[in-house]
């Protein structure tokens, strides 16, 4: 029996479960990649993964921080919940952009296998951004209305 002193809080247990689940999913992904991807394609997968990390850490994350800093006054006015919803929608769209860009490039170059890249990624990505911006604008409007209502009461 393992005795933990001080006892773990619910949030600690949740973090441990989430972390263990993440590690399990990473291991499952590695096993699936080893089984499904031919060894001669490993180099291109590594290049893609490194490019995704570089683009995420070098472009998406700084852009998100910049937008958050620019929108800080708005976030203070509309409340933390509305600001979190708006930020989450925009970050999700940015991540979708990161995922869709290779597909856009492949379709522009002409896919080697016509059955793999059947989706028009530009249309899907455009729809994703329209929805994300709509959610963000809706959250800002709802937060502003709630803040105005709270001031008048």
For residue range 68-84, what is the model confidence (pLDDT) as tens digits? 888 888 888 898 899 98
* Residues with Cβ within 8 Å of residue 38, at least 6 apart in sequence: none
> Is residue 1 situated within a structural domain?
no
Let me know if residue 9 belongs to a domain: no
With beta carbons less than 8 A apart as the criterion, state whether 144 and 77 touch.
yes
Residue 75 lies in a domain: yes
Domain range for residue 89? Answer: 41-150
- Quick check: is 13 in a domain? no
Q: Report if residue 20 sits inside a domain.
A: no
Taking every pair of C-alpha atoms in the chain, what is the biggest distance, in angstroms?
A: 67
Looking at the structure of the chain, the number of domains it has is: 1
The DSSP annotation for 125-136 comes to HHHHHHHHHHHH
- What residue ranges of the chain have pLDDT lower than 70? 1-2, 111
Q: How much is the pLDDT for 110?
A: 80
Predicted confidence at residue 1, as pLDDT, reads 65
| Structural contact between residues 120 and 99, judged by C-beta atoms closer than 8 angstroms | no
- Residue 34 covered by a domain: no
Residue 66 domain flag:
yes
Q: What percent of the chain has pLDDT over 90?
A: 38
């Amino acid at each position: 029996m393992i005795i933990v002193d001080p006892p773990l809080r619910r949030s600690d247990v949740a973090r441990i479960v989430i972390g263990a689940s993440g590690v399990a999913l990473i291991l499952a992904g590695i096993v699936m990649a080893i089984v499904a991807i031919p060894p001669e394609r490993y180099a291109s997968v590594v290049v893609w993964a490194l490019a995704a990390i570089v683009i995420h850490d070098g472009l998406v994350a700084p852009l998100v921080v910049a937008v958050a800093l620019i929108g800080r006054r708005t976030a203070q006015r509309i409340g933390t919940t509305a600001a979190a919803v708006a930020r989450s929608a925009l970050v999700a769209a940015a991540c979708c952009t990161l995922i869709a860009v290779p597909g856009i490039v492949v379709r522009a170059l002409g896919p080697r296998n016509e059955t793999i890249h059947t989706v028009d990624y530009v249309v899907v990505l455009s729809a994703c951004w329209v929805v994300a911006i709509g959610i963000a604008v809706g959250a800002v409007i709802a937060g502003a209305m709630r803040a105005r209502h709270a001031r008048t009461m």
